[in-house]
Amino acid sequence: MARRRFAGGLAVLIVLIGVLAVLSLRIQAARPNPILDAIPIGNPIPMGLSVAVDSRLGRAFILDDGVRAQHVTVSNGGRYSYSSGSYAFGASTPSNKVHVIDTRTGRLVKTLDVPQTVHALTVDEVTNRIFAFDQGQVDVLDARSGASLGSVPFSGNPDALSDRVVVSLVDTRSGQIFVTTAQSTSDPVDQHVLILDGRSGKTLRNLTFPHGLGDTSTDPNGIRSTYYGPSLLQALDDRAGRLYVFNTNGQMSVVDTKSGRLLVTRRLPVALSGAWVNERTGGVFAFAVPQTSGSIHSSRGLRQRPSTLVMLNPRSGAIQRIMSTSGQNTLAFDETTNRLFILDGARHTVSIRDGTSGRLVRDVLLGAIPIRLLLDAPHHRALVTTVNGYNSTTPDAHIAVLDTRTGALVRMLPIPAGQLAYAMAVDTGTGHLVTAYATMSSDAPDRYSWIPAWLRARLPWVPPPPPSLGPNQRIVTHTALTLDPS
């Protein structure tokens, strides 16, 4: 009798487990896989300027150097550094490419060859132009066909051949592109903001600004040197037709976008970074950044540290309000909700503030370090790349999806292999996200590994196996990922 009861109970338990399994599968099927497609690519260069989207065409453009993988050296503490010029396989000499991806499906449409020295991409959705910024010139491509429309040199700049684009903004109202070029040298040189025509890429105006403060350091031999890197920051208010230019020595300039005329230049009590303009009110928000030079001073109780957010008068540049925050110089504005979103790496949160007054609305806990922030206003989403174990060989990375209306954390999308997504753009038409991420492994990928070694050595058309790795070496590969965050 007891055996019958046990057998009956076991049968009921098996049936319940089966029912739960079926329900689990149905629940998973009801929520579609957010990953639409994953495409192997080379190393995106540079990380922040390598992905652009034309939402009207439904196309994403990703720039990479054509190298499929690269060696990195891992220290005992888990930190890693790229081995200079050490390519695991693929091209021994980099050859830049632009991958065109259908943002609706994530499928690769085509791959375009561009000059090796191209280092940044910008897309103008009104003119359907891709601007690939070379050193000293801009290469113009048709976003529909990928055909080259010509190359235009940066005119009026005597140092153009060695300049690199570090910031580019598109003004869809005036049909112009504002480009910040900068030299990374040991000598103080002037910085430039170029105003380009949105169709031809021709330089309409070249504005010159004084160099910012240099970063002084001492090498192991006790020799002190000063490094002058990119020092200009732009913020655009295309409704008012104003371009705000800041440099690291605390100077703010306002430029009329239609005429290119410099309207006002003001010396601020602090240097600023991460500037943003509320086009509804014209207010300017920016972070005060720490400086090592004694030429920058504090005033009105404002201490120079990354945890200070300031609100400026858009006309005079005068500081109107000082707000304490532990943000990390990354902010974005959602015009539909009039909310300012600020990444807070110290507390692992996203701070949401009122876009007019700067008043704190709420903090959203992510549980991981936020890295990059992107807003999709039409779909009411804030997309944040997060990571645990930053600068580690085994990071745990996700993309957090927030509702910009309520601030609620809606989803945490895992990045495959748990690696860091460092560049991304969103198609505001479909709401799909395109990101580039890196994967680190101890073995180089080899699609011919299934062939026996003795046979592979006798097949001249099959490449040899990738080189073996040392105990502290890893292989980094890169992937373009298209996701549906809904």
Residue-wise pLDDT for 439-449, tens only, equals 777 776 677 88
Q: How far out from the chain centre does Cα 310 lie?
A: 24
Residue linked to tokens 């504090």: 298
pLDDT computed for residue 160 by the predictor: 46
Reference 282, options 308, 311, 302; nearest CA is: 311
In this structure, the number of other CB atoms found within 10 A of the CB of residue 441 comes to 15
Reference 156, options 103, 196, 97, 189; nearest CA is: 196
Say if CB 242 and CB 260 are below 8 A apart: no
Residue spans of the domains in the chain: they are 36-129+325-486
DSSP 220: T
| Cα–Cα distance measured from residue 132 to residue 43, given in angstroms and rounded to the nearest whole number | 16
> Measuring CA to CA, how many Å separate 48 from each of 56, 294, 371, 436?
22, 31, 12, 10
Strands (E), 154-190: 164-171, 176-182
Q: What is the pTM of this model?
A: 0.78
| Cα–Cα distance measured from residue 209 to residue 212, given in angstroms and rounded to the nearest whole number | 9
- Radius of gyration of the chain from its Cα atoms, rounded to whole angstroms: 25
pLDDT computed for residue 10 by the predictor: 60
pLDDT, one tens digit per residue, over 167-213 is 778 887 778 888 877 655 555 566 778 888 888 888 888 888 776 55
| Cα–Cα distance measured from residue 382 to residue 340, given in angstroms and rounded to the nearest whole number | 11
Say if CB 258 and CB 178 are below 8 A apart: no
Residue linked to tokens 């532990």: 326
**What is the length of the chain?**
486
Pairing type for strands 409-414 and 396-403 reads antiparallel
| Cα–Cα distance measured from residue 384 to residue 382, given in angstroms and rounded to the nearest whole number | 7
What region, left, alpha or beta, does residue 58 occupy, with left being phi > 0 and alpha being psi -120 to 50 degrees? left
pLDDT tens for the chain, residues 1 to 486: 566 665 566 665 666 766 665 555 454 444 567 889 988 887 776 555 688 899 999 999 998 877 766 767 766 555 555 554 444 444 444 568 889 999 999 999 998 888 777 778 888 888 889 888 877 788 899 999 988 898 888 765 555 445 566 677 888 777 888 887 765 555 556 677 888 888 888 888 888 877 655 444 444 444 444 444 456 778 888 888 888 888 767 788 888 888 888 888 888 777 777 778 888 787 888 887 654 433 333 333 333 344 678 888 887 777 888 887 766 667 888 988 999 999 888 888 999 999 888 888 999 999 888 888 999 999 999 999 888 866 565 677 889 999 999 999 999 988 876 566 668 899 999 999 998 887 777 776 677 888 888 888 888 888 787 767 777 777 778 888 899 998
Say if CB 282 and CB 237 are below 8 A apart: yes
Residues 6+ apart with CB under 8 A from 87: 67, 69, 70, 71
Topology of domain 36-129+325-486, per CATH? Methylamine Dehydrogenase; Chain H (2.130.10)
Q: 353-391 burial, b if ≥16 CB within 10 A, otherwise e?
A: bebeebeeeebbebebbbbbbbbbbebbbbbbbbbeeee
